[in-house]
Amino acid sequence: MLILGLTFFGSVPAGAAQSNVLRVGVNSDLDTLDPARIRNVASLLVGNNIYSSLVRFKPGSTTEIEPDLAKSWELSSDGLVMTFHLRKGVQFHKGFGEFTAEDAKFTIERHQNKATKSAFFQMYKAVKKVEAVDKYTLRLHFTAPSPAFFSTILTWRGGWILSKKAVEKFGKDYAFSPVGTGTYVFQSYQKGAKVVLTANKDYFRGQPHIGRVEFIPVPEASVSYAAIQAGDLDIMYTRNPTVFNRARKNKGLKVMFAPAMSVRSAYLRTDRGPLKDVRVRRAIVHAVNRKAILEHVLGNTGRLGSSFLSPNAWTHTTDIRIYDYDPARAKKLLAEAGYAKGFEVEFLYPKQSPYQEIAPAMADDLRAVGIKANLVGMKFVSMIARARKGGYDMLLMGLTRPPDPDIVLTTGYFGPNKPPGQNFSFYDKLDKLIVEARHEVNREKRKKLYIQAQKRIAEDVPAFPFYYPYAMSIMRHRVKGHVVGVMNAYDIFPMYLEK
């Protein structure tokens, strides 16, 4: 097993185990630290500690919302106007001045600008007008009541507030010159090597315990694990089942896990080729032995999937069409669709755990019913670039979002969000329902609409949920105060290092 040398990890000496430096292993290099364009988990982990939002989920919760940059807010009786009263005196990093309503207005309007190519462009269409009433008052005017907006966009990275001055100063270089009001200040980025953050001594909730955090990209989980054992890393977020289950038996390390707000699925192109036929898509689901793969390949590091919504979501249901492992049924469906002799598909996936373990196992099952899946594994950033151009027939991917169904549907199943968006199935059969549910203010009626959506997707199979994964962390015993990030996040603020 390879243990990375200190030259890779930078200038931190071996004795740093007693210092106030936290070294975090992440599974890929960053793509950007511009919240509008982040596509990978490593960037999300870093950005979560740089930025603040108007409101946020209480640490450790996916249901309880608390103030962040906004100290209070109110919604008009007709549900069309939301007014935020902002904290006074909050300072942006690196001398970029006080946070004001103008910065929040700028951030939202930037997402709404097509030229930004924001991942949240579709969701911000709900906002008709953004108004900086005065220095500390922000008002949003909605096109229609939007009950999901508050608990999805604003509490997640689509709500991270930028410094208008910093974005205008750095321009295209802002991607790696981020400025926020969060717990840590961005210091440096060495491509493929290290991201360095330092504690924000002026953070409005108080100074963080840990003085310096280094995020180090290590694509191979086994290498990160060896580095933790050697003392070269302190904590790692992992998706690798072998490494995680090995760590659980290692008394020298500490492991923590919780059900993530995530669904890992195979997305099937509904707009072309054999997969355009729903019988073929159903055959694919019947052909894959998901239970065996979850047990023997993924080491039971999650729960078997059925709905496109995580069981943590408030509208999740199991009262939908279920596809058992049935190769004979798969062959019959393929014959009915005119593909008794099979066909070939291009199967794209990220070359990292758990996808690189799942894809070959799926390909073996598909081969048994006559479907040849030509595997195309790529580094995550390159894979996403190809996916955004539609360069695949099948795509293996995870989707982690806040618990309200609107953001999951809009991201993954809304017609206008097909590539270069993240509707990787090119599916458009639920667009009217998605818009209707988004603006429905009666919670029970919304729930019924989302149950309809789950039933329809189970019938149409634009994607099939493979499993609901655990969020898993491995750390040295000196790391204290860690809260498992069920939405792909490390919140460093409550953490400290035992000397």
Topology annotation, domain 55-167: Dipeptide-binding Protein; domain 1 (3.90.76)
> What are the tens digits of pLDDT across the range 24-60?
999 889 999 999 999 888 999 999 999 999 999 888 7
> What are the tens digits of pLDDT across the range 264-286?
999 999 999 999 999 999 999 99
> What are the tens digits of pLDDT across the range 120-166?
998 899 999 999 999 999 999 999 999 888 888 898 899 999 999 99
pLDDT given at position 499: 81
Ranges for all domains in the chain classified under CATH 3.40.190.10: 6-50+182-234+478-497
> Residue 65: pLDDT above 50?
yes
Q: Extract the tokens encoding 185.
A: 């200040």
Ranges for all domains in the chain classified under CATH 3.10.105.10: 262-470
146-150: long-range contacts, CB 8 A cutoff, minimum separation 24:
146/79, 146/438, 146/439, 147/79, 147/440, 147/441, 147/443, 147/446, 148/404, 148/405, 148/406, 148/407, 148/438, 149/123, 150/55, 150/65, 150/82
What value does the mean pLDDT of the chain take?
A: 92
pLDDT given at position 18: 42
Q: pLDDT above 90 covers what percent of the chain?
A: 84
Q: Vertex 178, ends 172 and 181: CA angle to 5°?
A: 145
> What are the tens digits of pLDDT across the range 221-236?
999 999 999 999 999 9
> Residue 116: pLDDT above 50?
yes
Q: Which DSSP string corresponds to 246-309?
A: HHHT-TTEEEEEEE-SEEEEEEE-SSSSGGGSHHHHHHHHHH--HHHIIIIISTT-EEE--SSS
Residue type, 309: L
pLDDT given at position 19: 66
Give the model's confidence band at 8: pLDDT under 50 very low, under 70 low, under 90 confident, else very high.
Answer: very low
Buried b (16+ CB within 10 A) or exposed e, 156-195: bbbbbbbbbbbbeebeeebbebbbbbbbbbbeebeeeebb
Sign of the C-alpha dihedral, residues 470, 472, 477, 483?
negative
* DSSP β-bridge partners for residue 403: none
The answer to whether residues 391 and 345 touch, using CB atoms and an 8 Å cutoff, is no
For residues 377-400, average pLDDT: 93
Q: pLDDT above 70 covers what percent of the chain?
A: 96
> Residue 6: pLDDT above 70?
no
Q: Does domain 262-470 fall into CATH 3.40.50.300?
A: no
Measured CA to CA, the distance from residue 447 to residue 79 in angstroms comes to 18
Please report, for residues 178, 211, 220, the alpha-carbon distance to residue 214 in angstroms, rounded to integers and kept in the order given.
16, 10, 18
Whether omega before 416 lies within 30 degrees of 0, making that bond cis, reads no
> Residue 194: pLDDT above 70?
yes
3-state secondary structure of 235: strand
Domain 6-50+182-234+478-497 is in which class? alpha beta
